[in-house]
Structures are given as structure tokens and as C-alpha cells.
Amino acid sequence: MKEIKRPDGWVIQEIIDPKTGERKNRYFYKRNRAPRVQLKSKVAQQLAGYSLIEKDLRNVITWLTEIDKLHPRDSHKSKPFQASPNRETFNIVKGLYVASLTFYGKCFTSCDGRRVKIEKSIIDDKFKEAHEDIMHMRHNFAAHSGADSFEEVKIALVLHPKVKSNMKPEIFRELSQADFKDSHEEDVRFLRLAEHVRRKVISKIDSLAERIYEKEIRPKGKKYWYNQAK
């Protein structure tokens, strides 16, 4: 069980069934158990979908921040494509980058379990080019192997330096794959883009929550909802 204590007096207990994985929440205010009613309206489902999107964007921001810790920004901000012989570190960097591309892209694509997606029209003009570049990387680097040279392998036959040698020629595989790509402009880099989109999603979440309260909750009155919670 995970317990979250909020500064406003609310305590949330998150309980996950170890066998089924089902999550159940219990709520308390100043040690008193609070009634709970699950909302299933269309708008509530939209709010649920945007909440999942916001969580994905939080993950993206966490992973990109971790990349900055592993490979400080000052050491590479003038080099959009990154690869390094330090494979111990950069295998982790690549994994975090691919995860970031995948989860960011998921926010803008249709998903049966969410019923909502972000439209790129919510993105400010300042970030539109950066967004298109990230989606391009998602499609051609993380999800598929596209026409762009984000990865390639050349097969080379290498001969002994001396023509009279009887040594068998070697066949080498010259593999190249970028670890990550980012804008050299600080204010439109991937991390800043993800933060920008998350702020837009939070604004949408707040708007939907207020709409649910004003259109669905308040008109029915307090007594109705306490009865529903029984």
C-alpha cells in the first residue's frame, strides 16, 4: 500500500491487489474515511485519458532530465546527433531517448484505451518545428527504420596490406546508430517541448474537471452524491 499525505489535510491510500493488479484508492480527511463515487460519463472518460497523457509526459520529462545528468548539456549542445564510445553510459542514454520518443509520440496518436489524443494544434508556433522533428525521429528511429540515415551498416571486405600475403580477407560490419538527437537551441529542445505540451495538457485537465463539476456534480446536489457513495 502506498500512502500520500497532502498538505491540505487529505490522505490517499493506493492499494494494489498483488494477484490481479487491480488498484483501489481509499481517501481520508483528518483521519475520517471519505465516500468515493466513480464517475463514468463521457467527459470523465476524457479526463481519464488526458490524465494518462499527462503521466506519459511526466515520464518523458524525467527521462530527458536523466539524460542531462548522464551527459551534461554543455558538452553537446552544438551537436544535434550524439554517439559515443562510452557504451556503458550511452546504452542507457539511448534507452532513455527511445523511451522518450515512444511515450511522447503516443500522446499524439489514437489509442483504444484512452479515447483521446493531443492535437498538434495546441502547440505554440515556437515549438512546432521541434515537435515535427521529434515525431519524425519517433517514426523513423524509434518505431521503424526509415529512409533517413539514423542507422546504417556497411559491409566491408578488408584485405591484408601486402598483396602477396596468403591471409584470408576479413569481412567487417561497419555499424552506425545515433544514440540521441536534440536541438542545439536551448529554448526549443526536446525537454522544453515536453514541458510545454504538459502545461497545455494540465490546462485541459483543469478545464475538464471544472466542466464535470459544473455540469454533472453541482446540479444534482450534495445529498444525491452521498447516496451514490453508499
Residue 21 inside a domain? The answer is yes
229 within some domain: no
Is residue 133 in a domain? yes
Question: Which of 63, 138, 53, 55 has the alpha carbon at shortest distance from 95?
Answer: 63
The grid coordinates of residue 186 equal: 536551448
**Residue pair 87/70 in contact by the 8 Å Cβ criterion:** no
61 with 90, same domain? yes
Assess whether 214 and 106 both reside in one domain.
Answer: yes
Tell me the three state secondary structure of residue 83: coil
Please tell me whether residues 21 and 72 are part of one structural domain: no
* Interatomic CA distance for residues 229 and 35, integer angstroms: 6
Q: What is the grid cell recorded at 230?
A: 453508499
User: Are residue 27 and residue 53 in the same domain, yes or no?
Assistant: no
113 and 126: one domain?
yes
Q: Are residues 113 and 214 in the same domain?
A: yes
Q: Are residues 2 and 60 in the same domain?
A: no
Q: Is 101 found in the same domain as 126?
A: yes
* 6 assigned to some structural domain: yes
Domain of residue 48, residue span: 40-148+181-221
Do 140 and 202 fall within a single domain? yes
How far the first Cα of the chain sits from its last, in Å, is 24
Number of domains the chain contains: 2
Q: How many residues are listed for the chain in this entry?
A: 230
In a domain, 91, yes or no: yes
Do both 105 and 202 map to the same domain? yes
216 located within any domain: yes
159 domain-assigned:
no
Is 203 in contact with 179 (CB distance < 8 Å)?
no
In angstroms, rounded to a whole number, what is the distance separating the alpha carbons of residues 136 and 13? 41
Q: What's residue 28's pLDDT?
A: 94
Contact 100, 63 (CB under 8 A): yes
Q: Are residues 82 and 187 in the same domain?
A: yes
Q: pLDDT tens track of the chain, all 230 residues?
A: 889 999 999 999 999 988 888 889 999 998 999 999 999 999 999 999 999 999 999 999 999 999 999 887 765 555 655 556 677 888 899 899 999 999 999 999 887 777 899 999 999 999 999 999 999 988 887 766 555 556 777 888 999 899 999 999 999 887 766 677 778 888 999 999 999 999 999 999 999 999 999 999 999 999 999 999 97
**Can you tell me which residue has the cell 515512444?**
102
Nearest Cα neighbor of 104 from 197, 203, 199, 184 is 197
Tell whether 162 is covered by a domain: no
User: H helices then E strands: how many in the chain?
Assistant: 5, 8
Same structural domain, 29 and 101: no
